[in-house]
Amino acid sequence: QQQVKQSPQSLIVQKGGISIINCAYENTAFDYFPWYQQFPGKGPALLIAIRPDVSEKKEGRFTISFNKSAKQFSLHIMDSQPGDSATYFCAAKRSGGSNYKLTFGKGTLLTVNP
Amino acid sequence: SQTIHQWPATLVQPVGSPLSLECTVEGTSNPNLYWYRQAAGRGLQLLFYSVGIGQISSEVPQNLSASRPQDRQFILSSKKLLLSDSGFYLCAWTAYTDTQYFGPGTRLTVL
């Protein structure tokens, strides 16, 4: 059972455009929602993260929008650049416990054309 | 600062051979440690995690096992590799925070 659904699977955007990746979750016990960026042959790197008490978080060209009632969150990449071409994963962590396990979406392959 | 190492970086092994992948973390103590597998073009599958020395939790029953002989060392093993064990193996850590930090990965090809 997939607890975090990510869409689209792949996305092609022109340089300078806006890239939008969406994730939906089912478990209301999730309390931490990170986005990871992964380049081919590398490990994923944390890009930006948000908690459910905040509706939006912005870091440079990257913004997370969070809709708690809809149980959805999205990543917006403004002024997308060819260097942003990578696979993006959303994830969610359940509150409580000491294992800090993350549940990941299946990933979105972003291609930014020059 | 904290650093995570994985080795080897790449590995080509025949079917039926044993496997040992190592992950070490520097600059922190008592981290939670995780092993993930990523098949080609696919998502991240959590295989094992550990909250302390000798404490291993398995997420998916399979041909692999994990051990944590030291606080900052995590080992992934197999007695006999299968073709389906091919993939990109990632180690990650966290220490009393929600953020997991990933290592550079090991590319395993089983022939």
With CB atoms and an 8 Å threshold, state whether B100 touches A42. no
Name which of A45, A101, A109 is nearest B102 (Cβ-Cβ). A45
Would you say residue A1 has pLDDT above 90?
A: no
The pLDDT tens digits of the residues spanning A33-72 come to 999 999 999 999 999 999 999 999 999 999 999 999 999 9
pLDDT of A27 reads 86
All residues of chain A having their beta carbon less than 8 Å from the beta carbon of residue B101 are: 46
Q: What is the 3-state secondary structure (H, E, C) of A41-91?
A: CCCCEEEEEECCCCCEEEECCEEEEEECCCCEEEEEECCCCHHHCEEEEEE
According to the model, what pLDDT value does residue A93 have?
Answer: 93
Residue located via tokens 């094992």: B48
Q: Which of A73, A56, A84, A100 is nearest to A6 (CA)?
A: A73
pLDDT score, position B40: 78
Whole-number Cα distances in Å, A103 to A26, B11, B33, B44 = 11, 27, 15, 9
Query: From the CA of B26, how many Å to the nearest CA of chain A?
Result: 17
Candidates A44, A49, A109; nearest CB to B102: A44
B68-82: pLDDT as tens digits: 999 999 999 999 999
Query: What pLDDT, on the 0 to 100 scale, is given for residue B61?
Result: 67
Helices (H), ranges, B1-111: none
Output A86 or A98, whichever has higher pLDDT: A86
Regions of chain B short of the pLDDT cut 50: none
Is the CB of A99 inside 8 Å of chain B's CB atoms? yes
Pick from A102, A108, A110 the residue to mutate for testing the B interface (most B CBs within 10 Å): A102
